[in-house]
Amino acid sequence: MKRQELEGKGIQLLLVENILAVFSESPLQTVSSAFHNGGGIKPAKVILNIEVPKGYGDLKLHMDPEGLITDAAKRLKLQGEFVAMITAACVKNFAVASKRDGKLGVSVVATAADDEGNTCDHAETAGEEIRAEVIEKGTINVIVVIDGNPTPSTLVSSIITATEAKTAAITELDIRSVYSGAPATGTITDAIVCAQTGAGEPILFGGPASKLGQLVGYCTRKAVREAITKGRECSPFRPLLERLSARQLTVEKMALELTKVKSIGKNKDELERTLSVMIGHDPVSASIILAATKLDEDKENGLFPPELGNFRELANRFAERVTGCSFKKISLSEEDFGQIDLPLFLKHVLAGLLIKTDVTNLN
């Protein structure tokens, strides 16, 4: 059993087997999206984040989620009301961030990574079309504990602030939607609990600029980032090849499309090997490719600055400047080049790099 003190008198975080629990000597007022006892303002002395045991099965979980929660409550010998979330993340990989400003204190507990180092397997961008079937992992769960006395509306506002901070942490790590490759805003099964002790004078504001909001935002962003990076696949140091794949730009896809550029003189297998070496072992080429994807993303989002002129012409000139390869050497018409199903800047720089690069010098 692991035990850790949180902000607030008599509030502790305990890790017991597959259960991460916040225990409070006095009742907390909570509002949450938790499966058990969520919604509305609810009193609770205990907040649970329960890890789904291996082999439990997605179907069994969806048919009887309360069974898992009831079993956890029995093992902890809980009495009275409690709030409970469920996660496929490994709860022992939790992260905690706490901060105090005078009489006001905040602690945030977050879980994200499973025991195999996977995180955000169902990362998504809110508002996109999502087709998901079996959901076995990928949840980011957050518990916010406020040692203070926010009003009910302020407590709800704190959830908004914490959610914004969670998304900021995700954005910092360049996590992408598995459904579209767009910058992710969360995962499809995230849950949050926000609780307060009621100590002190009423707090009327919980937005990002308020004193409470700044504490909640700081702690949430820090805890979520740490929880996510406990998984290898979302490490800030993960290879560029993985980051490109998350954008749905795999080596296989890029190689297949670039076979249409006959002047490169390589088949698909040769292009895959060349691209893997170029991106994985040539920092300059990798930097050029990363810069091109950033430009393409701005173009896709309608953020292309008008002072840069025509983006099609600029993509050509950009590629010529950074690769030293003239567009004329690619030996494709504008129409034919348009048939290559890759983002505009990326396909220009890839074609230029592949024509100019001797891959044997990169090993």
Please report the pLDDT score of residue 57 as a whole number.
55
321-324, Cβ contacts within 8 angstroms, sequence gap of 24 or more: 322/288, 322/291, 322/349, 322/352, 323/288, 323/349, 323/352, 323/353, 323/355, 323/356, 324/352, 324/356
pLDDT in tens, 79-121: 889 999 999 889 999 999 999 999 999 999 999 987 666 677 7
- The CATH number of the domain holding residue 126 is 3.60.70
Same domain, 141 and 268: no
Of 215, 234, 253, which marks where a domain is finished? 234
Of 234, 250, 282, which marks where a domain is finished? 234
Same domain, 155 and 250: no
Tell whether the model's pLDDT for residue 231 goes beyond 80.
Answer: no
Q: pLDDT tier at 359 (50, 70, 90 boundaries)? A: very low
Same domain, 261 and 188: no
Q: Structural domain of residue 222, as residue ranges? A: 2-234
Same domain, 219 and 73: yes
Please report the pLDDT score of residue 151 as a whole number.
97
Of the listed ranges 54-63, 78-87, 278-287, 349-358, the one predicted with least confidence: 54-63
Of 234, 258, 291, which marks where a domain is finished? 234
Same domain, 223 and 256: no
pLDDT in tens, 307-326: 988 888 898 889 999 988 87
Rounded distance, CA 159 to CA 152, Å? 11
Same domain, 16 and 161: yes
Same domain, 223 and 251: no
Same domain, 34 and 161: yes
Rounded distance, CA 203 to CA 148, Å? 8
Same domain, 313 and 200: no
pTM of this structure = 0.89
Same domain, 74 and 92: yes
Q: How many domains does the chain have?
A: 2
DSSP string, 127-183: TS--------S---EEEEEEESEE-HHHHHHHHHHHHHHHHHHHHHTT-B-TTT-SB
Same domain, 290 and 189: no
Tell whether the model's pLDDT for residue 18 goes beyond 60.
Answer: yes
Same domain, 136 and 190: yes
